[in-house]
Every structure is written in C-alpha cells, then in structure tokens.
Structure 1
Amino acid sequence: MDNSIQVLSDKASLIASKNTWIEGLAIQQLLTTADLPNMVKVMGMPDLHPGKGYPIGAAYLSREIIYPALIGSDIGCGMGFWQTDINLAKLSIDKLAKKIGNIDLPDTHHKYNLGTIGGGNHFAEIQKVSKIFDATLFNHYQLNAEKLFLLVHSGSRGLGHAILQNQLSRFGYQGLADNSDDALRYLEKHDNAVAFAQLNRQVVADRLMTNLNTQGQEVLNVCHNFLQKVTIDKQSYWLHRKGASSAMDELVIVPGSRGDYSYLVKPIQREDLLMSLAHGAGRKWRRADCKGKLENRYSMQELKRTKLGSRVICEDSSLIFEEAPQAYKSIDSVIESMQQANIVTVIAQLTPILNYKTQGGH
C-alpha cells in the first residue's frame, strides 16, 4: 500500500504524507465515526481537521443508514471556478479592488440570502495561472493563462443550516434508515439545498463579474458537503462527504488559504479511497484562538496584504483574523499527499490576486 495511506483501524484510513500535519483530535473524531452503526469505511483526507463532534475533510461510507449530521449544516457547499475575460497583461489590483464593489446584502430578513458569500471560510477570489503542470489537459479544457480566473467558495447559506437544525431537534445525531419516510424527506431537502448552493455560487460569480464588467466561462461548479448513493462491487452504499470533493467530478479546484496557492486538478477515481479528495488546505488553528495568536503581531491593515502580493477585502475585524493564512496548513503538503496516493493529476497552480470576504455594512 502507498506510504501516504495510513490504516488507523479495520474501518478507518487516512491519506497523509510524512509532511502532512494532522491534529490528534481529528483522528480521534474520525475513529469515532467509524464506530457508528452500519458504517462500512471512513477515509480521512490530508486536510482533515476537528469539527463539532465529527471531523471535516473526510468521506464516510455506510450501508442502509444515512447520517445527516455527517454532512453538516452547509449542505451543498463547494467551489465554482470561472475563466473571465480580464487580461492578465492589463492587471491593476487597485482598479480591481475598486470595481469589485460590494455584494453583501442588507438584513432584509430574506431567509437564505441568494447571491451572497456568507461568513466563515467562504470567499471569492480573483486568481492568475502561475504554473502549468499538464499543458495537454490545460489546453483540452480550453483554458487561457493570459486571462484572470474567479473562484467562489460558498454554500446553501441559511437553508442548509435550517435543514440540519430541524433534523437535530427531531432526531439528534442518530442515523435514519434509508427507506424510512424521515430519510426520504431529508434527502429531498438535501437535494434542494445542493441545487441552491450551486445556484448561489453562479449568482455570486455573476454579480462580481457584472461589477468587474467582464464575462465568464464556467470551468466547474462542484460540492464537497453532500450525500450520494454509490454502487461498489454491486453493493449499494451511502457516501457522505464532509469537506471532501468528489473524484467523480471531471475537474476540481483545491484552494489554499487566502495567502496561498490553489491547484486545478483532474481527479482519479479509487473506490478503495472512497472516490474522494481533499477540498482545501484544512485549518491548523481553531477560530477562537486566531485573534489571540495574531493581534499582537499584525494589524488589520497588515492582514489585508499577503506574502504572495495579493489583497484581501474584509471589513469584519474578527473574520480577518480567523481566516488569516497562518491559521491554515500548507496547501502543497495536501497536494503532495494526494499525488502520492494517486488520486489527482495536477493541471495548474493559481496565485491569488484579490480575495473578497465582505465590505462590511451594506
């Protein structure tokens, strides 16, 4: 077996190279999920990190029982990626920062805020291609390194949260028999939230590209928090992904922190690794610890510039510390682990230019 694949128990494994740091609590949580009733196999990705009871950055395979709590509250969260018509040669970050404007919505009590990014680790980012690893694939997908790209990471906003809260209030964290009325009702709501999240990323991209006076071509729009029915060795299973992209998608983008690279990859399907891959760099620090670790070393203004020369638009004084690059693992170690496990072909590396979180106010 590849040395980047660590067997933790008879049901739990982890994809991580020797350079990948994984917190002990995340591994404990992964092992806990392996003991859930009817759980067949769990697979931690190299961006594995602790969550609320269950870890983020993993795939879970069960038989005849579904676990809504494993998907979490942001059902359908994922990445959308567009090639814009903006020429790299004419790049002015100052002009981009002014033109990008504000897509935050006022609090009109609209339930789900379609077309907004949301808080936490969600963002939109203007990027440029900095390195092409596989020119054949890059050209096959008709990508243009002379143009800028737009990456949108967002989910189902309040809709997914409402679905999970309703679920927890009725059933707690227990699973549901997949042929039960309760499971079928959840699955219908889940599918609606996935569709909403994909639409939300499209609307966010459209709003930003309108502000930037550009057109865009969608390269991908994929999820990393969702439930899927799969067949393996003629057996039917439920595959839960929480912070794990699907190897069944044709293309996936794996972003680092706002001060790190992103990588466009072509997944390689491996049933033994649950046809999944990492969705990003993974947190290194808990949100509650970030401000204390950083506020004596960096001002808010200093955190609006990154080591790669990119800018950050974030007027939320808590969020800018919580999402600082220092709070995340190195994306390169995550990509290295996946290459060693033979689950991705890396197509291109992208460098951030402008990262949009929130303008604050409305």
Structure 2
Amino acid sequence: MNSEKPNIRLIASGKDWIEGAAVDQLKRTAELPGMRLAVGFPDLHPGKGHPVGAAFVSSGTIYPYLIGNDIGCGMGFWQTDLLRRKAKLDRWAGRLSDLENPWEGDVGEWLQRAELPTTHSDHSLGTIGGGNHFAELQAVEKVEDETEFAKLNLSKEKLMLLVHSGSRGLGESILRAYVDQHRDAGVAVESTDAKDYLQKHDEAVRWAKANRSLIAHRFASVLNAACENVVDGSHNSITRHELAGETVWLHRKGAAPAETGPMIIPGSRGTVSYLVLPTGDLPAAAWSLAHGAGRKWTRSESKSRIRDRYRPDELSQTELGSRVICENRDLLYEEAPDAYKKIEVVIKTLVDEGLIRVIASLRPLITYKTRSSR
C-alpha cells in the first residue's frame, strides 16, 4: 500500500460558495489508508461523513461507502425530434405523469437489450426516484463551439432531454450488504469481498444507465416523440485507472466523468445547463469535473428559508418561464433554485482552470420530478 501523503486539491475561486465543513470532510477523507489524491470541485458541499462534489484516488484499497448507495447515478442527454418552434409547454406539461411509478411495458426485454440480469429492483426500472433526480426537456440557448456541437450531430432547432437518476433500490441493497459486513471501512482490492462488490457495482452502473434510457423513452413517448442518446455518464462510481504506471481506483461522489468526452453539467432547474468538453490535465483533476451547481443549503434549511419567500405556485414556473412538475410540496421547496449555488460561477471556475470548454448552454422548458404529493 502506498504510504505517500495524499495530494489534496480544491478547485474553486473566491466566488465559489464552499462551506468549511465540506473542506474538512475532503481533508479527512484524504487521510484514509491508501489515498493518493483528493479533489474537490466548485460544487463541493457536505455529505454524510464525506463530501459531495469530489473525487478520490486510492491505491490498494477501495471504499464503497464513499460513493454511497446510489451507485451509477448520473446524467443522460438525448436529442429528440421535437422542434422548438412547435413547443406547446402547457399542453405537454399537462400530459406528463406517472414517471415515478413502475413502467407497464416489458422490463425483461429492456434488461435483455442492456445485457443485464434480473434483480429484485426491476420493478423500479424506468422511474426517476426522489431527491434531486429529474427529467428535463430543454432548448439550446446558445452554441459556444460550433465545431464540437456539429460533431455531436446536434441541431439548434430540436429539443433536448436531460435525465438525472441512478440505480434506485439496487444500489441501496448493494451498499447495505457491504456496510453490514464492513461498516464504513475499505477493503483490499485483491480480496474476495472487493471483487464481489465491484462485480455488483458494475452491474448497478449499467442498470442505472438502462434506467435513464427507459425514463427518456417514457418521457418522449408521452409527447409522441423519439429521442437519440448523445452522452451518458455516472457521477457516483468506482473505476480503475492507471496513474504513473500504477493501477489506482477512482471514487466519484458527485463528480462527472471527464475522460469519456463531452458531458452535461446541469444547473438548478431554474437556470441553464451546460454541455462541455473536458480539457487540460485530466489525471490532476482525478479524471473528473463538477457534476452540477451543488447544494447551497441542506434540505431542512431550504424548506425553512424558501417557504417564507415563495408560494408553491411561484416555484412551479421559474424565472426563465420553464414549468416544474413537482406535486410534493416539501420536495418543491427542497429543490428550489435558490437552494443551489450559481451554476455560472461553477462553470467559470472550471473554464478558468482550463478543465473545460463550453460547447453550448441549454434552457429548461419542462422539469419533471413527481406527480405524487408524498
């Protein structure tokens, strides 16, 4: 096991809102045995013992507890055949429903197409889940890099679909089984327990990707549209990499992958999102990027602060004119745009650090979270 003192890097400017508690968590996590590199991004905020918006590189040991229960959670981005000039937002918002409930189609066929085995969680395949997960119809706001935009075969006239979801109960069960045996401790990568976890982890990552794909299919189908995947990446995962001739293990907890090409960094449902191209010294940034705006307030703080400022109907349509479908009042307040940091500041920091080039910005039109009041 490598005994070198880990390198700790916080990618942030003086304008980024970074809590001291999150920085403390970053430093403490970097002290775990085998840690080589800890990187915090501009969306860094405190988590349950370890920060969100960070990536950690270890040697010889993996730490499943670091990435949490939503293994494979990430962002999928699709181009639809819906034309912006023909958008009917109120009509479409009225038709969208039921994405939090089980799909009535053939889940087995969908799993087979993704080359996945059946699991106890398959009834939730194609469902968004709670918290900060969503499916969002978007329009191209501004193209910053015409060349890269064209390489992705994107059209300014067509509407896009962004889906944020993960492995639902499957990831939860995998982490629970691990914690029952090891609590929050790591395990040697050559151990049977590590190999067993990683095999289940990899299936959960693929399951989460299939879940996002089915959510996109369900969303588009309601609008009588077709959609084609552009990019998809997980921001909660453990992956193998090579660093200076050594095999290392990258733990992402709310950190978007940078080594797979263009990626989406979403805003806060009331702001634009960004399609970006990773650039620069990727290993120095743990092959990762910020995965979004990042929370500014905890969920309980958000409810207490925002209830005094807004009525529910005022949060159902944003300042950009987009519609937010969220009939759970507590969730509506917890996920209000004000609860998040400024995505523009996050993006500028990454640009100034030489880590990304912006391809395009995307304006929210309809954000779906839940029709359920509970």
Report the secondary structure of 1:153's partner residue. strand
Structure 2 CA distance for partners of 1:116 and 1:51, relative to 1, 3 Å:
same
Q: Shift of residue 102 of structure 1?
A: 2.3
Match of 1:133 among 131, 135, 144: 144
Structure 2 residue corresponding to 1:89, chosen from 67, 74, 85: 85
- Per the TM alignment, residue 100 of structure 1 is displaced from its structure 2 partner at its CA by 2.2
Q: Cα offset for 1:11? A: 2.2
1:118 aligns with 2:129: yes
Change (3 A) 1:110 1:21: closer
Distance 1:113 1:332, change over 3 A: same
Please report the RMSD computed on the Cα atoms of aligned residues, expressed in angstroms: 1.7
Is the 1:29–1:53 contact (alpha carbons within 8 Å) kept by the matching residues of 2?
A: yes
**Which consecutive residues of structure 1, in runs of 5 or more, have no partner in the other structure?**
1-8
Which amino acid letter does the alignment assign opposite residue 337 of structure 2?
P
Partners of 1:257 and 1:110 in 2: CA distance: 29
Q: Letter of the aligned partner of 1:220 in structure 2?
A: V
Are 2:65 and 1:53 equivalent residues in the alignment? no
Task: Report the alpha carbon displacement of residue 313 of structure 1 after superposing the two structures with TM.
Answer: 0.2
Indicate the residue corresponding to 1:42 in structure 2: 38
SS at match of 1:245: strand
147-156 or 89-98: bigger deviation: 89-98
Query: What's the CA shift string for 1:204-241, capped at 9, x where partnerless?
Result: 00011111100111101110000011001111101111
Matches within 5 A, 1:184-263: 184-263=195-274
Letter aligned with residue 311 of structure 1:
R
1:112·1:156 contact (CA, 8 Å) conserved in 2? no
Aligned to 2:13: 17
Shift of 1:361: 6.5
Query: 1:314 corresponds to which residue?
Result: 326
Whole-angstrom CA distance in 2 between matches of 1:288 and 1:73: 21
1:301 corresponding residue in structure 2: 313
Contact (CA 8 Å) 1:303, 1:312: kept in 2 or not? yes
| Map of 2:192 onto structure 1 | 181
Taking a change above 3 Å as real, the CA distance of residues 175 and 324 of structure 1, as seen in their structure-2 partners, is same
Partner of 2:116: none
Aligned residues of 1:245 and 1:278 also touching (Cα < 8 A):
yes
User: Relative to structure 1, is the Cα distance of residues 27 and 217 closer, same or farther in structure 2, using a 3 angstrom cutoff?
Assistant: same
CA 1:111–1:91 in 2, change beyond 3 Å: closer, same or farther? closer
The one-letter amino acid of 1:246's match is P
Distance 1:281 1:182, change over 3 A: same
- CA shift at 1:95, angstroms? 1.5
Q: Percent of aligned positions with the same letter in both sequences?
A: 49
Return closer, same or farther for 1:161/1:112 CA change in 2, 3 Å cut-off.
Answer: farther
Letter in 1 for 2:198: L
Asked if the contact 1:63/1:237 (under 8 Å) is kept, the reply is yes
- Please say if residues 17 and 340 of structure 1, whose CA atoms lie closer than 8 Å, have aligned partners that are also in contact: no
Match of 1:358 in 2: 370
2:364 counterpart SS class: strand
Report the secondary structure of 1:16's partner residue.
coil
Q: 2:166·2:211 contact (CA, 8 Å) conserved in 1?
A: yes
1:112 and 1:291 map into 2 onto residues whose CA distance is 31
Q: Is the 8 A contact 1:121 1:323 kept in 2?
A: yes
The counterpart of 2:295, out of the listed 272, 283, 287, is: 283
Task: From 351, 355, 371, give the equivalent of 1:343.
Answer: 355
Residue range with higher mean Cα deviation, 61-70 or 102-111: 102-111
Contact 1:112 1:157 in 2 (8 A): no
**CA spacing shift, 1:36–1:112, aligned 2, 3 Å:** farther
Deviation sequence 1:76-97 (CA, Å, 0-9, x none) = 0000100001110111211211
* TM-score, length of structure 2 as denominator length: 0.92
Bigger drift between 222-231 and 101-110 goes to: 101-110
Query: Residue 194 of structure 2: SS of its match in structure 1?
Result: helix
What is the identity, as a one-letter code, of the residue corresponding to 1:54? H
| TM norm structure 1 | 0.95
Structure 1 Cα separation of the partners of residues 101 and 228 of structure 2: 25
1:281 counterpart letter in structure 2: A
**Residue in 1 that maps onto 2:108:** none
Assess if the C-alpha contact under 8 Å between 1:112 and 1:158 holds in 2: no
Residue 102 (structure 1) aligned to one of 95, 98, 116: 98
Q: Name the amino acid aligned to 1:350.
A: L
The answer to which of 90-99 and 47-56 deviates more is 90-99
Q: What secondary structure does 1:169 align onto?
A: helix
Match of 1:265 in 2: 276
Aligned to 1:3: none
CA distance in structure 2 between the aligned counterparts of 1:357 and 1:186, rounded to whole angstroms: 31
How far apart, in 2, do the equivalents of 1:361 and 1:173 lie? 34
Unmatched segments (≥5 aa) in structure 2: 105-119
Question: Alpha-carbon deviation of 1:275?
Answer: 1.2
* Cα pair 2:259 2:282 within 8 Å, conserved: no
Other-structure match for 1:6: none
- Contact 2:36 / 2:59 at 8 angstroms: preserved in 1? yes
- Distance, in Å, in 2 between the alignment partners of 1:200 and 1:179 is 30
Distance 1:80 1:112 in 2: 20
Aligned to 1:324: 336
